[in-house]
Amino acid sequence: MIEWWHLLVSFFLANVFGYGGGPSSIPLMYQEVVPNHAWMTSSGFSNMLALGNALPGPIATKIAAYVGYQVGGWPGVLIAVAATVVPSIIALIFLLNMLQKYKQSPVIKGMTLLVQPVIAIMMLLVTWSSFVESTKTIGYLQFFGIAAVAFYFIQKRKIHPAFVIVAAFVYGGIFLQHS
């Protein structure tokens, strides 16, 4: 019972202090899981992280699910995942509902307009870091080759990105094997 409470508090804190999405909460979750509560060893945590990175989807909830299961079985999963996602969703819904009410006011219109350049630059920076990471593992030729094909099919031919990603899986599984 007390472990459930600890799960709730740990995952709530690790995510409420993590800015910039799940990946930036990983060190905070490590702090709670390994040194604070000794739910896992340090190498256990890195193994779990390796598995998490090999699977798709948001990373914070995958970690919460795994640690939750180890500590408290399926109820543990539920508690840890809920503590990870529910507070920030409620905050977002609350804030956006408030903004919606005043949608037509020039104040809100100005705010909506002024966030566009910030979002553009933030996305540009994420693009840049994934470019740098990717070229380190697969090289410039592969990167630009795959990127060009993906651009053609998603932007020009308007194919659903899901198909392009599945095609990339197949291509990578055959031609980009590496250790």
Partner 1 sequence: MKLSKQLGGRGALTNSYIQIATAMFRTGILGYGGGPSIVPLIRYEAVTRFKWMEDEEFGEVLAIANALPGPIATKLAGYLGYRLKGVGGAIIGVLAHIAPTCAAMVGLYSFIHFFSTSTIIKGMIAAVVPVVAVMLAVMAYEFGEKAVKGLGWYAGIGFFVISFLLLQTLSVHPAIVIFLFLFYGAFHNKLQSLWKKKQQKGETI
Cα first-last separation, the chain: 42
Q: Which of residues 38-97 bind partner 1 (CB under 8 A)?
A: 47-48, 50-66, 69, 77, 81, 84-85, 87-89, 91-93, 95-96
In whole angstroms, the minimum distance from the beta carbon of 90 to partner 1 comes to 8
Neighbours of 142 (CB within 10 A): 16
In whole angstroms, the minimum distance from the beta carbon of 39 to partner 1 comes to 14
Q: Which of residues 108-167 bind partner 1 (CB under 8 A)?
A: 108-127, 130-131, 133-134, 137-138, 142-144, 146-147, 150-151, 154-155, 160-162, 164-166
Neighbours of 39 (CB within 10 A): 20
Residue 49: name the closest of 40, 33, 62, 38 by CA.
62
In whole angstroms, the minimum distance from the beta carbon of 27 to partner 1 comes to 13
Residue 41 sits at φ, ψ, to 5 deg, of: -85, 165
Alpha carbons 179 and 171: distance in angstroms, whole number: 16
| # of chain residues touching partner 1 (CB under 8 A) | 98
Q: Quick check: 14 and 29 in contact, CB under 8 A? A: yes
Per CB under 8 A, the list member of 7, 25, 30, 71 interacting with partner 1 is 25
**Residue 1 sits in the site that holds partner 1 (CB under 8 A):** no
